[in-house]
A = this chain, B = another copy of it.
Amino acid sequence: MDTMGRHVVAELWDCDPELLNNIEQVEKIMVNAAIESGAEVREVVFHKFSPLGVSGVVVISESHLTIHSFPEHKYASVDVYTCGDRIDPKVAAEYISRGLRAKRQETVQFARGLGKLKVDELSMESAGGTVR
């Protein structure tokens, strides 16, 4: 298997805090994001913190999706890393952002496995539009 991969780091702000604290909903959104992007789900593990917050991981054949939610700050920290060029990690990241009703997001995309770490793309989006 080729080492080339793409990794989207997404900071989601002004999300729905009730969703962020609901482990079943967060897990469903993350698994569906993986499926939506065309990835093959291998392992799913989610953890609820008391009283607030969910952490979880979806291991896919093509790498992983992770989330850490902070309902009290309406913030979720999301990573989508996909090896190869068949799956676009942005598709999953955007699905998660929509699912959690983020009003602002900042994302950075890296190229990985190529010998040199490289930031491909940095974008900020809010209700007002996209800044690149």
A contact set with B: CB distance below 8 Å: 1, 3, 5, 7, 9, 11, 13, 42-43, 45, 47, 49, 52-53, 55-57, 59, 61, 63-64, 66, 68, 70, 72-73, 75, 77, 79, 81, 83, 106-108, 110, 112-113, 115-117, 119, 122
Contact = CB atoms under 8 A, between A and B. Distances in A.
Main secondary structure of the interface of A (DSSP, over half): strand
B49 A3 contact: no
24 contacts: A1-B49, A3-B77, A5-B77, A7-B9, A9-B117, A11-B117, A13-B115, A43-B45, A43-B47, A45-B45, A45-B59, A49-B61, A55-B59, A55-B64, A57-B57, A57-B64, A63-B68, A64-B68, A66-B66, A66-B81, A70-B113, A79-B79, A117-B122, A119-B119
